[in-house]
C-alpha cells in the first residue's frame, strides 16, 4: 500500500488529509506535528475583547484523526531528504513515503534588533493572551502597531491581522470609555501598507485610521525596537505596548535539506504545488513560495486551496494519471473591527472591496463556526 506523509497539523495539512480521503484515496496517511490540536489563529484577534479565549481556540484532533484513518506522530522534523523522500524526526525516527506534503507553515523573521520587546500577534494564542494582559495593565499611553515584509521576498507578509488588531483595540477602548487616554500609532516601512489587498482597500484602511484618530508613521525603514519605543530612520515612536508583525521566512530545518529554496528561504513550489526536481514532494501553505500574482496571499484560505490542489494531484498520480490541477490564486479577507467588517476579494483581474458593515462581522463569526465543524 502507498504511504503519504504529511508534515504539519495546521490548515494546509488537515485540508490535504481530508481532501485525499474525500477523493477516495485509501493509502496509509501519517501526519507528523508537535501537537495534536488545531489552533484556530484567525480568531485570536478577538481574545483581547473577550469574545474568544485561548483554550476555546484549541481543538483536539483525536476524532478527526480517527474519522479519516490518520496516524499521528507527535514529533518535530529535524531534516529531510527530498532525493530519498524521507524525513528525520527529533525522536530519532526516520520516515519515508511515496508522497510527502510539506505543510508545516513558516516562521516570522526575528532579525530586527530588539524585536523581543514587541509582541508578534500571529505567532499564536500565547501572543494574543500577552496583548490582553498588556492592555489590561495600562490605564493610558501609546500603543504602537506595525508590520513589515521580508526584504528578500516582499510577498512573504501577513499584514491583515495587524489592521484588525488596530481597529479592534480602537473599538474596544471606545466601548470601555477610555479611548481618549490612549494614542494609537500605526507604523510600517511601506508608504502604503497592505497593497496586496488592492489600492482601493489601502485607501479605505488609511481613511479609516484618519477617521478614528489613529496616527501613522509610514515609509521609514526600521532600525530597532526598544522596551519603550520603536526606532526608525524617520524618527522614534514612544510606546507603552508594541505589536509588530515582521516578514515571514521558512522553518530553520528547510535550509539543511536538498530542496530548492526561494530568496526568502521558503520551499519552492510550482503551480501544481510540486517541489521542482523532486517527484512525490509537495508543498502547501505558508511553507512554500509559489508562482502567481504579486498579491498572492499568505493566509489560511490560500493554504486550503493549495492543499486541495495537492490532494487532487496525488490522487491522480496514485491512479496512474498525470497531475494537472493548479491551485487557484485567491484572496478573501474580512477585516474585522469588533463591530463591523470590511471584505476584500481578489481573483484574476477582480478586486472587490465592500465597506465596513455590521453583517460582515457576524459573517466572519459564522464562517468560523462552519469551518471548524469539519475538525471537531
Ramachandran assignment for 271, one of left (phi > 0), alpha (psi -120 to 50 degrees), beta (any other)? alpha
Instruction: Name the 3-class secondary structure at 364.
Output: helix
Instruction: Name the 3-class secondary structure at 107.
Output: strand
Burial of 293 (0-12, 13-18, 19+ CB in 10 A): middle
pTM of the model: 0.95
Is there a single domain that holds both residue 101 and residue 122?
A: no
Q: What is the DSSP letter of 180?
A: G
**How much is the pLDDT for 1?**
83
Residue for cell digits 480568531? 43
As given in the structure block, the three cell numbers for residue 97 are 513515503
Residue for cell digits 481597529? 167
Instruction: Let me know if residue 359 belongs to a domain.
Output: no
Domain end, chosen from 303, 319, 335, is at 319
Over range 177-196, report the average pLDDT.
Answer: 96
Instruction: Let me know if residue 357 belongs to a domain.
Output: no
Instruction: Let me know if residue 160 belongs to a domain.
Output: yes
Mean pLDDT of the chain: 96
Q: What is the DSSP letter of 45?
A: G
Is there a single domain that holds both residue 100 and residue 116?
A: no
What is the Cα–Cα distance from 56 to 35, expressed in whole angstroms?
16
Q: Are residues 358 and 343 in contact, defined by beta-carbon separation less than 8 angstroms?
A: no
The residue among 293, 240, 286 whose CA lies nearest residue 267 is 286
As given in the structure block, the three cell numbers for residue 266 are 521558503
**How much is the pLDDT for 158?**
85
pLDDT tens string 337-348: 999 999 999 999
Instruction: Let me know if residue 18 belongs to a domain.
Output: yes
Domain end, chosen from 234, 262, 280, is at 234
pLDDT surpasses 90 at 97: yes
**How much is the pLDDT for 173?**
98
Which residues constitute the domain of residue 172? 110-234
DSSP 3-state percent helix, strand, coil across the chain (nearest 5): 35, 30, 40
Is there a single domain that holds both residue 116 and residue 217?
A: yes
Q: Could you tell me the CATH number of the domain that includes residue 295?
A: 3.50.50.60
Is there a single domain that holds both residue 71 and residue 50?
A: yes
Instruction: Let me know if residue 53 belongs to a domain.
Output: yes
**How much is the pLDDT for 159?**
85
Q: Are residues 105 and 248 in contact, defined by beta-carbon separation less than 8 angstroms?
A: no
pLDDT tens string 54-89: 999 999 999 999 999 999 999 999 999 999 999 999
| Residue 100: count of CB within 10 angstroms of its CB | 27
Percent over 70 (pLDDT), the chain: 100
**How much is the pLDDT for 108?**
96
Give the count of domains, the chain.
2
Instruction: Let me know if residue 220 belongs to a domain.
Output: yes
The residue among 27, 35, 45 whose CA lies nearest residue 364 is 45
pLDDT tens string 229-288: 999 999 999 999 999 999 999 999 999 999 999 999 999 999 999 999 999 999 999 999
Domain end, chosen from 319, 338, 370, is at 319
Over range 127-140, report the average pLDDT.
Answer: 97
Amino acid at each position: 500500500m502507498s504511504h503519504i506523509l504529511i508534515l504539519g497539523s495546521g490548515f494546509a495539512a488537515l485540508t490535504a488529509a481530508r481532501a485525499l480521503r474525500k477523493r477516495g484515496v485509501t493509502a496509509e496517511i501519517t501526519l507528523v506535528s508537535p501537537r495534536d490540536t488545531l489552533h484556530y489563529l484567525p480568531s485570536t484577534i478577538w481574545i483581547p475583547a473577550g469574545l474568544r479565549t485561548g483554550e476555546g481556540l484549541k481543538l483536539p484532533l483525536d476524532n478527526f484523526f480517527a474519522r479519516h484513518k490518520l496516524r499521528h506522530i507527535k514529533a518535530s522534523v529535524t531534516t529531510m531528504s527530498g532525493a530519498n523522500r524521507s524525513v528525520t524526526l527529533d525522536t530519532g525516527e526516520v520516515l519515508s513515503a511515496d508522497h510527502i506534503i510539506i505543510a508545516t507553515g513558516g516562521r516570522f523573521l526575528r532579525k530586527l534588533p530588539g524585536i523581543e520587546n514587541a509582541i508578534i500577534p500571529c505567532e499564536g494564542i500565547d501572543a494574543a493572551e500577552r496583548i490582553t494582559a498588556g492592555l489590561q495593565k495600562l490605564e493610558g499611553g501609546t500603543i504602537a502597531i506595525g508590520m513589515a515584509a521580508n526584504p528578500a521576498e516582499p510577498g512573504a507578509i501577513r499584514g491583515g491581522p495587524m489592521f484588525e488588531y488596530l481597529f479592534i483595540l480602537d473599538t474596544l477602548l471606545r466601548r470601555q470609555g477610555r479611548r481618549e487616554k490612549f494614542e494609537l500609532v500605526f507604523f510600517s516601512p511601506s508608504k502604503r501598507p497592505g497593497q496586496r489587498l488592492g489600492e482601493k482597500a489601502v485607501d479605505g484602511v488609511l481613511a479609516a485610521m484618519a477617521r478614528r484618530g489613529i496616527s501613522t508613521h509610514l515609509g521609514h525603514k526600521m532600525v530597532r525596537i526598544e522596551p519603550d519605543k520603536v526606532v526608525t530612520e524617520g524618527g522614534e515612536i514612544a510606546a507603552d505596548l508594541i505589536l509588530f508583525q515582521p516578514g515571514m521566512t521558512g522553518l530553520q530545518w528547510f535550509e539543511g535539506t536538498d530542496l530548492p529554496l526561494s530568496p526568502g528561504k521558503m520551499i519552492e513550489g510550482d503551480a501544481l504545488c510540486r517541489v521542482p526536481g523532486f517527484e512525490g514532494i509537495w508543498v502547501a501553505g505558508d511553507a512554500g513560495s509559489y508562482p502567481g500574482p504579486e498579491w498572492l496571499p499568505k493566509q489560511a484560505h490560500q493554504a486550503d486551496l493549495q492543499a486541495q490542489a495537492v490532494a487532487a494531484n496525488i490522487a491522480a498520480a496514485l491512479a496512474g494519471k498525470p497531475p494537472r490541477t493548479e491551485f487557484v490564486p485567491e484572496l478573501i479577507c474580512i477585516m474585522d473591527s469588533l463591530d463591523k467588517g470590511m471584505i476584500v476579494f481578489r481573483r484574476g483581474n477582480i478586486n472587490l472591496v465592500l465597506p465596513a458593515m455590521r453583517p460582515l462581522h457576524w459573517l466572519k463569526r459564522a464562517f468560523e463556526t462552519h469551518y471548524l465543524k469539519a475538525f471537531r
